[in-house]
Amino acid sequence: MSKIELFMTAKIFAVCAALFLGVVFPSVSWAGPAPPLEEVIESLQKIYEKTQDFQAGFIQETTVKSIRKTDTEEGTVCFKNPRQMLWDYKKPKVKKLIINAQKAWLYLPSDKTVYVQESNRIFKSEALIKFLSGLGKLHHDFTIQYASPAVDSDGNYLLLLYPREKGASYSYLKMTIAKDNFYILQVGFDDVMGNSTLLKFSDIKMNRGLSSKRFQFKPPPGVSIFKMP
* CATH number of the domain residue 186 falls in: 2.50.20.10
Q: How far apart are CA 90 and CA 48, in angstroms?
A: 28
Q: What is the pLDDT of residue 4?
A: 46
Q: What region, left, alpha or beta, does residue 222 occupy, with left being phi > 0 and alpha being psi -120 to 50 degrees?
A: left
CB contact at 8 A, 94 and 112? no
Q: What pLDDT digit, counting tens, does each position of 154-180 carry?
A: 888 899 988 887 777 778 888 888 777
Q: What pLDDT digit, counting tens, does each position of 66-116 carry?
A: 888 999 999 999 988 877 889 999 999 999 999 888 998 999 999 999 999
Q: What is the pLDDT of residue 155?
A: 87
CB contact at 8 A, 12 and 128? no
Domain count for the chain: 1
Q: Which of 4, 172, 10 has its CA nearest to residue 98? A: 10
Q: Between the CA of residue 219 and those of 4, 14, 94, 113, 213, what are the distances in Å?
A: 19, 23, 15, 9, 14
Domain ranges, residue 12: 3-227
Taking the CA of residue 208 as centre, how many other CA atoms within 13 Å lie in the half-sphere pointing to its CB?
11
Q: Which of 19, 54, 57 has its CA nearest to residue 207? A: 54
The H-assigned helical ranges of 72-219 are 119-122, 126-132, 138-141
